[in-house]
Amino acid sequence: MDLQMIKLSMNQNKRYEYFIFEVFIKILIYQSINQLINVSYLFKTNYFLRVFHKLLIVNNIFIDQTDYSFLKMQGLTKKILPQLIVFDLDMCLWSPETYVLDEQPSKKIIGQLGNIGAGVIGVQCGSQILKLFPDVITILQDFYNNKYPEVKLAVASSADTPFAVKIAKNALNMLEILPGVTIRQVLQKGWEDNFEGHIQIGRTPPLSSRKSKSHFPLLLNNTGIPYTGMVFFDDCNWDDNCKHVEQDCIGVVTQRTPNGLKLHEWNQALENYQKKYSSEKHKE
Ligand SMILES: [Mg+2]
């Protein structure tokens, strides 16, 4: 006879007594484990914190009333990451804006890619050089080196003219973030080799100047990833694309990058995503 059957076979009074006894025992176990956690935290012994945290979960003891802020501080709770990170290009990943460039990329400019080694840090487009922002190189290096294994990348850029679109596509195939690794290769990570549905650049049909009405529905359709799984970075210097996407594509977490994507903006967006979706998950 299992525990549930024993409980059902009890009369009302016995059940009440059993309930009190069960609560009493749970309080005792909870307090003992919590004391052990406090001691572990005091000595910053992550291993024991993890073990005790698991014990609380396994025993299903007052899990909702427990204050886990100290575990979050220790980075022990599971990170909730988006499935898809969507980038604008001009003034988000690189500068200057492609519409001001009067020639297609020709010469590769070689320089140091952080401390990693030499690579293509810029492309000559007539009299100007198109370059990635320094933090973008770091972020994409981390991404390529599997810091975010479940995450995929995409592009939503409303480059002004077909000429600018061509510059952007050529530059993606030339600029490097690691020696011999182009941005295009980084963007392809996790996708099938010949898949292109995640790269939406331009404003001629089916695209338009309103990314939320054309680029994003296409990304949704082509990738199968819902808006609730997306984070979007855009400089928003000409039009508030972030606001439009938030309004028209409910669920996307957006981040403005007015001076080009910076590391603190990248971290802020991921933190906002984590906050939004961990609290919503909790409410379910
Ligand atoms: Mg832009």
Count how many domains the chain has. 2
- Tell me, yes or no, whether 46 and 166 share the same domain: no
- Tell me, yes or no, whether 56 and 100 share the same domain: no
- Tell me, yes or no, whether 122 and 23 share the same domain: no
CA of 91 from ligand 1 middle (Å) equals 5
CA of 95 from ligand 1 middle (Å) equals 9
**Is residue 79 domain-resident?**
no
- DSSP for residue 90: B
CA of 224 from ligand 1 middle (Å) equals 25
- Tell me, yes or no, whether 259 and 153 share the same domain: yes
Domain end position, chosen among 52, 73, 94: 73
- Tell me, yes or no, whether 26 and 124 share the same domain: no
Strand partners, 111: 119
CA of 62 from ligand 1 middle (Å) equals 48
CA of 84 from ligand 1 middle (Å) equals 18
- Tell me, yes or no, whether 30 and 103 share the same domain: no
- Tell me, yes or no, whether 160 and 64 share the same domain: no
The tens place of each residue's pLDDT in the chain, 284 residues long, gives 555 566 566 666 676 676 666 766 666 666 666 666 565 555 555 555 566 656 655 555 444 444 455 555 545 556 899 999 999 999 999 999 999 999 999 999 999 998 889 999 999 999 999 999 999 999 999 999 999 999 999 999 999 899 999 999 999 999 999 999 999 999 999 999 999 999 999 999 999 999 999 999 999 999 999 999 999 999 999 899 999 999 999 999 999 999 999 999 999 999 999 999 986 654 44
Residues with CB under 5 Å of ion ligand 1 are 88, 90-91, 235
Computed over its alpha carbons, how large is the radius of gyration of the chain?
26
CA of 177 from ligand 1 middle (Å) equals 20
Q: Are the CB atoms for 80 and 150 separated by under 8 Å?
A: no
- Tell me, yes or no, whether 158 and 215 share the same domain: yes
CA of 238 from ligand 1 middle (Å) equals 8
- Tell me, yes or no, whether 46 and 111 share the same domain: no
**Is residue 78 domain-resident?**
no
- Which long-range contacts (C-beta less than 8 Å, at least 24 apart) are formed by 28-37? 29/59, 29/61, 30/56, 30/61, 30/62, 33/59, 33/61, 34/66, 37/70
CA of 90 from ligand 1 middle (Å) equals 4
CA of 133 from ligand 1 middle (Å) equals 13
CA of 97 from ligand 1 middle (Å) equals 7
- Tell me, yes or no, whether 148 and 173 share the same domain: yes
CA of 212 from ligand 1 middle (Å) equals 14
- Tell me, yes or no, whether 208 and 113 share the same domain: yes
Can you give the pTM of this predicted structure?
Answer: 0.73
CA of 141 from ligand 1 middle (Å) equals 21
- Tell me, yes or no, whether 148 and 195 share the same domain: yes
CB atoms within 10 A of CB 251: 14
Which domain range does residue 53 map to? 3-73
Determine the 3-state secondary structure of 230 from DSSP: strand
CA of 235 from ligand 1 middle (Å) equals 5
